[in-house]
Amino acid sequence: MTNENQDILREKLAHMRSEHRDLDDVIERIGSDTPFDQLQIQRLKKRKLGLKDEILKLESRLLPDIIA
């Protein structure tokens, strides 16, 4: 993988991590409201989980395999 491709992946990874953290804040804020929208919270949690999966995939592409 070229350095340019790695830089693009790192930038995308940073963006996704930021969005993942932002979703934490939004979910917490919505959950503290009474009454709260359970469907909206479920959708946000699903998006957060999807982001986590994508983050793990990108991290595995960026980190070389240690086991030979």
Structure tokens given for 57: 């995939």
11-33 pLDDT tens trace: 999 999 999 999 999 999 998 88
Return the pLDDT at 50.
Answer: 97
Per-residue pLDDT at 65: 58
Type of residue at 12: K
Please state, for a pLDDT cut of 90, what percent of the chain lies above it: 65
Please give the model's pTM, rounded to 2 decimal places: 0.80
Residue 51 has pLDDT above 80, yes or no: yes
Please report how many Cα atoms fall inside a 13 Å half-sphere around the Cα of residue 62, on the Cβ side.
18
User: According to the model, what pLDDT value does residue 68 have?
Assistant: 47
Per-residue pLDDT for 61 more than 90? no
The tokens 């979910």 sit on which residue? 27
